[in-house]
Amino acid sequence: MDYLVVFLVLVVFLQTRVTDLKRAVICLASQSVIIAIACFVIGFSHGNDIHAVMPGVLTIIVKVIFIPGAVYRLVKKLKNEREIVSASNVNYSTMAAALFLVMGYALVERLMPGSVGRDIVAASILMIMTGLSLMVLRKRAIIQICGLITLENGIYLLGLLMTEGLPLVVELGVFLDVLIAVVVLVILTSRMRLSFMTTDTSVMKKLKG
């Protein structure tokens, strides 16, 4: 489990560094793989029934295969588009992630000193906050989608640790919602490419006040 957390933190930091869209999607997929392994580890430590396997299998199907696949297909179409992005935001989001990691550990120490899943809680706080910062600081639509999934993964990991997963029906519903959310966002992004010739969200600033 310790190795998983180390890898997870590493992948999240990588996620903030990447500017190439394809690599960002691969990063997202590997992050979900780690979450899936964590699901299996936590699931099998509490029993061998279907509820132990289900979250891991669903994570693999939805978050490792389907979501990165859909986003990757979209990214392949985005070849000749206008590039407005600047590199300075990358450093900000990495720095923010480092801050969030420290903040996560400080928060865990304050709230529940000496608990077992300390590292996992800190990692999930890191993921939640980094996801948010990716959505706020970055302008590319694809990176924002990656941020959203990172945020969702973080909340999911925290839930997994606290409650060993939600009730089965709710769990299925959550996965369905994430799936539909990504489909909707992919539709919107491809439409954005058609009407704005770019997926940079900073061109959309007509609606104010």
In the complex, the residues that contact another protein under the rule CB under 8 A are 128, 132, 135, 141, 144, 148, 151-152, 155, 158-159, 162-163, 166-167, 169-170, 173-174, 176-177, 180-181, 184-185, 187-188, 191-192, 195-196, 201, 204-207, 209
For another protein, give the closer residue by CB, 37 or 129. 129
Nearer to another protein, 101 or 129 (CB): 129
Taking the complex as a whole, how short is the minimal distance between the CB of residue 82 and another protein, in angstroms? Answer: 15
CB of residue 20 to another protein, shortest distance in Å: 22
Could you tell me where the DSSP H helices lie in the chain?
Answer: 2-17, 21-44, 50-58, 67-77, 88-111, 118-137, 141-163, 168-196
CB closer to another protein, 7 vs 54: 54
- Do residues 109 and 32 lie in contact, with contact meaning Cβ atoms separated by under 8 Å? no
Smallest distance, another protein to C-beta of residue 48, A: 17
Residues 6+ apart with CB under 8 A from 199: 78, 81, 140, 141, 142, 189, 192, 193
Rounded to the nearest 10 degrees, the angle between the axes of helix 21-44 and helix 50-58 is 180
Identify which of residues 69 and 167 has a Cβ nearer to another protein in the complex: 167
Report how far apart the first and last C-alpha atoms of the chain are (Å, whole number): 49
Closest to another protein by CB, 106 or 162 = 162
As measured in angstroms, the least distance from the Cβ of 3 to another protein is 25
Q: What is the SS3 assignment for 80?
A: coil
